A and B are shown apart, each in its own frame.
Chain A
Amino acid sequence: MAAHEFELTRNITIGQYLPTGSFIHRIDPRIKIVAFTVLVAAIAVCDTYAGNIIALSFVCLLFRLSRIPVGYGLSGVKPAMPFIVILAVLQLLFYGEVASGGTVYLKYGVIIITSESIRLVIVSALRFIEIIFVSSVLTLSTSTTQLTHGMASLLKPLKHVKFPVHELSLIITIAIRFVPTFAMEMEKMMKAQASRGAQFGQSAWWKIVERTKDMFPLIIPLFHVAMNRAEDLVLAMEARCYTPGGERTSYRKLRARPGDYLVLLFCLLFSLFLIWFPY
């Protein structure tokens, strides 16, 4: 196992918030979530070269506007790179029959490469990067608390059909809060075991019993930590008389300003433009 595989915390970008105080940071989180959803949907539909280049320049502009270094977006793309490459290769090899239009460049057995399949490969790789970029801008410019508040506020109408909106947003907040904590614990345990000479999965794969035994020193402590933390949290919340269904007000009220609606309108128009862009 390579050394970098122990570095879990460094790679987890969720919950990373970069307060630069730009105007994108100040947009109402509800507006940001809706605008983000619309943009992602438009990017997912857009399948032309020109449309994707426009979309890519737009998301790069978003980085500039939010004063977040593009490097943050790229570090989100880097771990996904092997996946993008594998997907591209598979599409290139096997999508020739599906996307059969255009000129045929190569035909060898079942492998058919056409101009259409090449377009598909490039466009889907671009889309992937664009979507990672847009979601990086969203999470880097909005704190987790703001995001969950925004989400809960958007889902409020569902309360009328007995959907547990508040409970759900609390679950999400707790879950996101504990992802980095568990990553840190896991990293500590893997390093601790490795320093004692543990070699995860080094024996041959048919030695199933040995391999099974290898996993216990990781799994048991992880669950032990998780369950202890859960118990502590439950006690802490119950001691403070927390009631899940209770009506509560929040310290910071969400308020969308006229400018925020303008941003939403612009994103809507831009998305429509991307969807119907003829080239």
Chain B
Amino acid sequence: MTSSALSVRNMTFIAMFVALTAIGGQVRLDIGPAPITLQTLVVMLAGSILGARRGLLSMVVFIALVAVGAPLLSGFRGGLGALVGPTGGYILSWPLAAFVTGWIVEKCAANGRIKTWQIVLAHIAGGILVIHAIGFPWLVMVMNLPLNPDTLISSLLIFMPGDFIKAFVGAPVALAVYKAIPSLKPGRKSNMA
């Protein structure tokens, strides 16, 4: 049936990324000076593997699930309270982050080929710049934090080593997935169905 907005394949992959995002939040790794979860790695990969549109959709569904109270965030938080709370900006930025990542990957792969550094760049732009550009001002405003070097270090710079590791780790994972499932490779017409 052509009237449907999404194919079975698209729906399934979007759903898988929703579930992976949920699992990512429960795996805590003490990488970098601050403990991190794999959640933002999955956000980056949602963009680079699913592409802009489906990546955005998967994150919107994830946030909708959290909003209705599913305890899917790290530390088993959920509900509207977690979304409008101090760290809500970081979570609400994910659809845009996945979209930006996917958009850059799609642009770079317009000729059907993509290089590792281009994926890393997309991950950094979407998964680090976008998330912190929305999340950090939100945190500062909600918590009324003073804008001094201490705040910058404790709520922004401390996450950078972990975030950059994730941006680098994500690239080979994305490439491996493209190889395993060619239909997910960006720059292919069938991908946009």
Contacts and interface: CB of A to CB of B under 8 A. Distances in A.
Contacts of B8: 234, 237-238, 242, 244
B30 to A, nearest CB: 4
A192 interface: no
Contacts of B145: 94
B18 A243 contact: no
Interface of A: 1, 5, 8, 11-14, 33, 36, 40, 44, 76, 79-80, 82-83, 87, 90, 94, 97-98, 127-128, 131-132, 135, 138-139, 151, 162, 164, 167-168, 170-176, 178-179, 181-183, 186, 190, 200-201, 205-206, 208, 211-212, 214-216, 218-220, 222-224, 226-227, 229-231, 233-234, 237-238, 242-246
A229 to B, nearest CB: 7
B65 to A, nearest CB: 7
B22 A179 contact: yes
Contacts of B4: 164, 167, 243-245
Interface string B13-28: 1111011101100111
A5 B35 CA distance: 13
Given A175-B61, A201-B29, A215-B29, A14 B23 contact: no
22 contacts: A76-B71, A80-B77, A83-B75, A151-B68, A164-B4, A167-B4, A171-B11, A173-B15, A174-B11, A175-B16, A179-B22, A215-B31, A215-B169, A216-B169, A218-B38, A219-B38, A219-B41, A224-B180, A230-B12, A243-B4, A244-B1, A244-B8
A76 B76 contact: yes
A217 B176 CA distance: 13
B80 interface: yes
Contact of A179 (B23, B45, B75, B161): B23
A175 B29 contact: no
B1 A212 contact: no
B137 interface: no
A114 to B, nearest CB: 15
B189 interface: no
Contact of B165 (A36, A80, A82, A215): A215
Contacts of A172: 15, 18, 61, 64-65
A27 B72 CA distance: 26
Given A132-B79, A170-B15, A206-B161, 17 more contacts: A12-B26, A40-B79, A76-B76, A87-B86, A135-B71, A164-B4, A164-B6, A167-B11, A179-B22, A181-B19, A200-B29, A208-B165, A219-B41, A227-B16, A230-B16, A233-B12, A245-B5
B1 A205 contact: no
Contacts of A234: 8-9, 12
Question: Which label, helix, strand, loop or mixed, suits the secondary structure of the A interface?
Answer: helix
Interface string B158-170: 0001001100110
Nearest to B27: A186
B88 interface: no
Interface of B: 1, 3-9, 11-16, 18-20, 22-23, 26-33, 38, 41, 45, 61-62, 64-65, 68-72, 75-81, 85-86, 143-145, 161, 164-165, 168-169, 172-173, 176-177, 180-181
Contacts of A164: 4-6
Contacts of B12: 174, 230, 233-234, 237
A151 B65 CA distance: 11
B143 A8 contact: no
Given A167-B6, A227-B181, A14 B169 contact: no
Given A220-B173, A223-B177, A245-B3, A171 B26 contact: no
A201 B30 contact: yes
Contacts of B16: 174-175, 178, 226-227, 229-230
Given A11-B26, A164-B6, A205-B32, A175 B165 contact: no
Given A131-B81, A172-B61, A243-B1, A98 B69 contact: no
Nearest to A167: B6
Nearest to A162: B5
B5 A167 contact: yes
Nearest to B20: A226
Nearest to A91: B143
Which one of B70, B72, B85, B180 has the greatest number of beta carbons of chain A within 10 Å? B70
Contacts of B79: 40, 131-132, 135
